[in-house]
C-alpha cells in the first residue's frame, strides 16, 4: 500500500484551500500537446482560487481547480470512470493512503486518464487519484470535476494570470523572455518551493495556488512576531474531520523577490509554510519547470494590502438546501447570538442559501455591518441578526 500525505482543507464559510502534498516523488506526467502558440483559458477567481472550465466532449463542461501546491491530480469518480484506461483500480495496483494534517487518513484509487483537455492543450495518459469532489463543489458554488496538480504541467509553461482571471499555457518560454522577476525553486524535485523573507527571517514557502489563504506560517525556528493574534479562526474541514485554525496579522514585511507585502494575515501551522491565493492574486505568476523557476509580475503599481479577515464567527459546511454550522468562534458575534455547532441556516438576508455563491457571500462579509440569518428550528424558522466584525483586523 502506497502512503501519501494529503493536506486538503476547506475553510468553511470563507474560502477553499487545497494543498495535496506527496512525501515521495510524485508521478511523472503523461504526454502533453500544447502547440506553437500560447493557449489562453478563461477562469473564475473563487475565494482567491482559479477555477477553469473546459469542454472537449458531449459530457462537459468540466471545472478544475488549478493547484500548484498539489503533487497529484485528483478527478471525480465520474470523470475517472469515463476516461480511465482499463479498470479504475487494476488488479495488483495498490490503493494510495492519503493522510490529513490531523493524523487521519483514507484510501484513494489510482487511475490513469486517457485524456484531460484545457482549451486546445491535451494531456494524455495522466496519472491521478479518484476523489469525491462534492465538498469542493459545495464550497466553490460550481461542480468541481478535479484538482489539477503541479506535475500535470511539467511539460508546459503555466501562467496563472490572476488580474485577468485566466491561465495561459505555452510549450516553452518565448525567446524574448517573460516580464516579471524570476525566482528559482529551492529544491530539485520540481516542487514550487521558493525562498522568501519574513521580517528578519528567511524561510522556504510553497507557492500554493490551491489555497485561498494569504500566508500560512510554520513558526518553528523563526518565532514570527504578530501585530494581532494569533486567535481562534474559522474551522477547517479535512479528510479526517474538522479542526480549529489560528490566525493573526504578522508584525513585519513578507518579501517575495523584490516585492514587499507588509503585515500579511497568516494562519499558523505545523505543516509547510506557504503563500496562497490571497497574495498570489496580486500577480501574474508563471512556472517554468524545465528551468526550475517562477516569474512574478505585479498586476498593478498599487501597494499590496492584505485586508482584514472579517466574519460573524460561524464556519459552515454548505449544501444547496442549507448551510450547516460546523464551528463557532468563542466570544464572537455568533456565540453572543447563541449559535451552536450543528445549527442549520436556510436563508441569508431573506434569500435562500442556494442564491449565495462564495464570491457574493465574501462581498457581503467585506461590506456589511450585520447579516440576517434564518435558522431552521424543527418545523419553524427564526431570524437572528448577527454582527460582522474583523476577526483579524
Q: What is the pLDDT of residues 75-104, one digit of tens each?
A: 999 999 998 865 555 555 667 776 654 456
171 and 36 Cβ atoms separated by less than 8 Å: yes
CB-based contacts of 120, cutoff 8 Å, min separation 6: 35, 39
pLDDT at residue 108, rounded to an integer: 87
Pick the CATH number of 1-306 from 3.90.1140.10, 2.40.70.10, 2.40.50.140, 2.30.30.140: 2.40.70.10
326 and 242 Cβ atoms separated by less than 8 Å: yes
Between 159 and 380, name the one with better pLDDT: 159
252 and 199 Cβ atoms separated by less than 8 Å: yes
Tell me the pLDDT of the chain averaged across its residues: 87
**Residue 170: pLDDT above 50?**
yes
pLDDT at residue 241, rounded to an integer: 62
* Averaged pLDDT, 244-258: 95
- Rounded Cα–Cα distance for residues 203 and 100 (Å): 23
Between 349 and 26, name the one with better pLDDT: 349
Q: What percent of the chain is predicted at pLDDT more than 70?
A: 87
Q: Where in the chain is the domain with CATH 2.30.42.10?
A: 309-392
Centroid of chain to Cα 163 = 17
Q: Express each pLDDT in 321-357 by its tens digit.
A: 999 999 999 999 999 999 999 999 999 999 999 999 8
Q: Express each pLDDT in 221-240 by its tens digit.
A: 888 999 999 999 988 766 55
Confidence band for 23, pLDDT divided at 50, 70 and 90: very low
187 and 193 Cβ atoms separated by less than 8 Å: yes
pLDDT at residue 26, rounded to an integer: 55
List the strands of the sheet with 121-124, edge to edge.
31-33, 121-124, 116-118
160 and 170 Cβ atoms separated by less than 8 Å: no
- Rounded Cα–Cα distance for residues 385 and 239 (Å): 32
Model pTM?
Answer: 0.89
**Residue 47: pLDDT above 50?**
yes
SS3 string, the chain, reads CEEEECEEEEECCCEEEEECCCCCCCCCCCEEECCCCCEEEEEEEECCEEEEEECCCCCCCEEEEEECCCCCEEECHHHHHHHECCCCCCCCCCCEEEECCCCCEEEECEEEECCEEECCEEEECEEEEECCCHHHHHHHCCCCCEEEEHHHHCCCEEEEECCCCEEEEECCCCCCCCCCEEEECCCCCCCCEEEEEECCEEEEEEECCCCCCCEEECCCCCCCCEEEEEEEEEEEEECCEEEEEEEEEECCEEEECCEEEECCEEEECCCCCEECHHHHCCEEEEEECCCCEEEEEECCCCCCCCCCEEECCEEEEECCCCEEEEEECCCCHHHHCCCCCCCEEEEECCEEHHHCCHHHHHHHHHHCCEEEEEEEECCEEEEEEEECEEEEC
User: What is the CATH code for 309-392?
Assistant: 2.30.42.10
Q: Where in the chain is the domain with CATH 2.40.70.10?
A: 1-306
Amino acid at each position: 500500500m502506497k502512503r501519501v500525505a494529503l493536506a486538503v482543507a476547506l475553510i468553511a464559510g470563507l474560502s477553499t484551500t487545497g494543498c495535496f502534498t506527496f512525501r515521495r516523488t510524485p508521478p511523472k506526467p503523461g504526454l502533453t500537446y500544447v502547440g506553437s502558440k500560447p493557449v489562453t483559458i478563461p477562469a473564475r477567481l473563487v475565494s482567491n482560487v482559479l477555477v477553469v472550465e473546459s469542454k472537449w466532449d458531449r459530457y462537459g463542461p468540466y471545472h478544475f481547480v488549478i493547484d500548484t501546491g498539489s503533487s497529484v491530480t485528483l478527478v471525480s469518480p465520474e470523470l475517472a470512470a469515463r476516461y480511465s484506461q482499463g479498470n479504475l483500480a487494476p488488479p495488483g495496483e495498490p490503493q494510495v493512503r492519503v493522510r490529513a494534517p490531523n493524523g487521519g487518513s483514507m484510501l484513494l484509487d489510482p487511475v490513469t486518464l486517457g485524456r484531460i483537455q484545457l482549451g486546445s492543450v491535451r494531456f494524455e495518459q495522466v496519472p491521478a487519484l479518484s476523489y469525491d469532489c462534492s465538498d469542493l463543489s459545495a464550497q466553490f458554488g460550481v461542480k468541481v470535476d478535479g484538482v489539477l496538480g503541479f506535475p500535470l504541467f511539467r511539460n508546459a509553461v503555466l501562467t496563472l494570470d490572476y488580474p485577468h482571471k485566466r491561465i495561459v499555457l505555452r510549450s516553452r518560454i518565448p525567446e524574448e523572455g517573460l516580464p516579471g522577476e524570476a525566482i528559482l525553486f529551492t529544491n530539485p524535485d520540481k516542487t514550487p518551493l521558493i525562498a522568501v523573507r519574513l521580517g528578519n527571517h528567511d524561510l522556504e514557502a510553497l507557492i500554493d495556488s490551491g489555497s485561498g489563504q494569504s500566508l500560512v506560517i510554520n513558526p518553528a525556528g523563526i518565532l514570527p512576531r504578530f501585530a494581532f493574534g494569533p486567535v481562534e479562526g474559522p474551522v477547517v474541514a479535512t479528510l479526517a474531520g474538522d479542526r480549529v485554525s489560528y490566525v493573526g496579522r504578522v508584525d513585519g514585511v513578507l518579501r517575495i523577490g523584490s516585492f514587499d507585502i507588509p503585515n500579511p494575515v497568516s494562519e499558523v501551522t505545523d505543516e509547510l509554510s506557504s503563500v496562497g491565493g490571497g497574495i498570489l492574486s496580486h500577480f501574474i505568476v508563471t512556472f517554468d519547470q524545465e528551468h526550475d523557476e517562477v516569474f512574478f509580475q505585479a498586476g498593478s503599481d498599487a501597494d499590496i494590502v492584505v485586508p482584514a479577515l472579517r466574519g460573524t464567527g460561524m464556519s459552515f459546511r454548505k449544501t444547496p438546501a442549507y448551510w450547516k454550522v460546523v464551528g463557532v468562534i468563542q466570544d464572537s458575534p455568533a456565540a453572543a447570538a447563541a449559535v451552536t455547532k450543528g445549527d442549520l441556516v436556510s436563508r441569508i438576508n431573506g434569500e435562500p442559501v442556494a442564491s449565495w455563491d462564495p464570491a457574493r457571500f465574501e462581498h457581503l462579509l467585506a461590506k456589511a455591518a450585520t447579516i440576517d440569518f434564518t435558522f431552521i428550528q424543527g418545523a419553524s424558522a427564526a431570524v437572528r441578526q448577527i454582527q460582522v466584525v474583523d476577526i483579524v483586523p
